[in-house]
Amino acid sequence: MTDFPERVFSGMQATGNLHLGNYLGAMLNWLRMQETHDCIYCVVDLHAITVWQDPQALAGNIREVTAAYIACGLDPEKSIIFNQSQVSAHAELAWVFNCVARLGWLNRMTQFKEKAGKDRENASIGLFVYPNLMAADILAYRATHVPVGEDQKQHLELSRDIAQKFNNDFAASIAAHGHGEAFFPLPKPMITGPATRVMSLRDGTRKMSKSEPSEYSRIDMTDDADTIAQKFRKARTDPEPLPSEPDGLKDRPEAENLVGIYAALAGMTKADVLKEYGGAQFSAFKPALSDLAVARLAPISTEMTRLKSDPAHIDGILADGAARAEAIAKPVMDAVKDIVGLLRTR
Ligand code: AQP
C-alpha cells in the first residue's frame, strides 16, 4: 500500500462565534497536533453558504473565526490558516467527488436529515453534497489525520469511501501517471478526549450547537464571566449528587456532560474529576465548573477582541495561509485532472 506522509487537516464553519463544543471537541486536539504534525486549519466559508448567510456579515464572520483560531493558540507560523474559498482546488475537487460519490451514500447522512428537517425539498443542493466538499477539503492536501468532534464521524467515513472509490475507479490511470497503487490516503478521524460530543446545557440528549435557538443551551467563546456563571447555574441537571465512578454517570446525560466539560477544561479524565467531586451536589460542582471555564475562556476572549480590532492583520494571515495552501493543493488538483483524463493545456 502507498505510504503517505502524515498531514493534518480540519476546519470550522464561518457561521459566527465558536462555542465550547467546538473548542473542547475539536480545537484542543488541533492545538495538540500542531505541536507534532504539519497542520492545515481552514475556515470553511463554502460550507457556511450551504445555508443562507447575510453577505454583509459573512466576511466579518470569516475574520471572527480566524481570530478565534489564533486566540485559542493556533500559530500561523506553524500551521497553515486560511479560508476555503480562496483556494479553488476545494470547489474543483468537490465537483470530481460529486461524480464519484453515490446518491445512496449521501442519502444516509444523518446531518443532512437533521439540518434539512421536514423541509427537505427546500434545502440547498450544497447542503446535500456538503460531505463531498468536506472530502475535497481533506484530500486536496492528501491529509491523513482529521481531528473532529464525534458529530463528524459519519462524514469522515464517507471521505474514506470516496478516497477508496477514486483509487479503485482510476487505479490503472493512477499507476500510469506514476502515482503507485493509490492516489489518495484514507484519512483517519481523530476523535479523542473526554468531550468529543458536548451536549446542550438545556437538554443532555442534544448536541451543543450554534443553530440552537436558546443561548442558554451553549457557552460561547466570547461569553463574559457573569454569563458563563449564569448559563451553568441554569444548566439542567438531575437531583442526585455526583457519583464517585464514571459508571455512575450512565443514564444521566446532563451530569455526564458537565463532568466531561470539567474534565476537558482541566485536562483530567472523568474518573479523576469524580474522585474529587464524587458525592458533591450540583450546587457545589456548578460554581467550580464556572470558575474553571472563566479561567480558561477569559484570556481567549480578550485576545479575540484585540485581534478583531485589526482586520488587516487577520487578512494578512489569511492571504499568507491561502498562498501556502494553494502551493500544496494545486499540484494535487493538476494530478487529479491528469488521472481523470481532463485536458490541461497550460
Ligand atoms: N457539540 C459539539 N461537541 C464536540 N464537538 C463539536 N463540534 C461542533 N459541535 C460540537 C466540532 O467542531 C468542529 C467545527 O464544527 P463546525 O463549525 O463545522 O460546525 P458544526 O459541526 O456544524 O457546529 P454546530 O455548532 O453544530 O453548527 P450548526 O449549529 O450550524 O450545525 C467540528 O470538528 C465538529 O465536530
- Using the predicted structure, report yes or no on whether residue 110 has a pLDDT greater than 90: yes
The 10s digit of each residue's pLDDT in 191-247 is 999 899 999 999 999 999 988 889 999 999 999 999 999 999 999 999 999 999 999
pLDDT category of residue 2 using cuts at 50, 70 and 90: confident
DSSP per residue, 178-227: T-TT-SS--PEEE--STTSSPBPSS-TTSB--TT-S-GGG--BTT--HHH
Domain 215-306: state its class: mainly alpha
Write the residue with the smallest CA distance to atom 10 of ligand 1.
21
pTM of the model: 0.96
Residue 134, burial from CB neighbour count under 10 angstroms (0-12, 13-18, 19+): buried
The verdict on the CB of residue 209 being under 6 Å from ligand 1 is yes
Cα distance between residue 168 and residue 162, in whole Å: 10
Q: What are the residue boundaries of the structural domains of the chain, listed by start?
A: 8-196+310-340, 215-306
Cα distance between residue 64 and residue 53, in whole Å: 14
Sheet holding 145-147, edge to edge: 80-83, 39-44, 8-13, 145-147, 188-190
Give pLDDT, residue 202: 96
Burial 251-260 (b: 16+ CB within 10 A, else e): ebbbbbbbbb
Pairing between β-strand 80-83 and β-strand 188-190 as defined by DSSP bridges? unpaired
- Using the predicted structure, report yes or no on whether residue 3 has a pLDDT greater than 90: no
In this chain, the answer to whether the domains covering 8-196+310-340 and 215-306 adopt an identical fold is no
Lowest mean pLDDT among 14-18, 204-208, 239-243, 280-284: 14-18
> What mean pLDDT is reported for the chain?
96
Reading the block at residue 9, the C-alpha cell is 487537516
CATH code, residues 8-196+310-340: 3.40.50.620
Mean pLDDT of 240-262: 96
Lowest mean pLDDT among 98-107, 210-219, 311-320: 210-219
The verdict on the CB of residue 207 being under 6 Å from ligand 1 is yes
Amino acid (1-letter code) at residue 203: D
pLDDT category of residue 16 using cuts at 50, 70 and 90: confident
The verdict on the CB of residue 50 being under 6 Å from ligand 1 is no
Atom of ligand 1 at shortest distance to CA of 149?
A: 35
Are the CB atoms for 12 and 18 separated by under 8 Å? yes
Helix (H, G, I), strand (E, B) or coil at 308: helix
pLDDT category of residue 297 using cuts at 50, 70 and 90: very high
The 10s digit of each residue's pLDDT in 133-167 is 999 999 999 999 999 999 999 999 999 999 999 99
Closest to 24 (Cα-Cα) out of 235, 312, 263, 340: 263
Atom of ligand 1 at shortest distance to CA of 212?
A: 29
Give the distance between the most distant pair of CA atoms in the chain: 71
Give pLDDT, residue 211: 82
| Catalytic (active site) residue 115 | yes
Are the CB atoms for 109 and 153 separated by under 8 Å? no
Give pLDDT, residue 12: 98
**Ligand 1 centroid to 94 CA: how many Å?**
21
Helix (H, G, I), strand (E, B) or coil at 338: helix
What proportion of the chain, given as a percentage, has pLDDT over 70? 100
**Ligand 1 centroid to 21 CA: how many Å?**
7
Give pLDDT, residue 57: 97
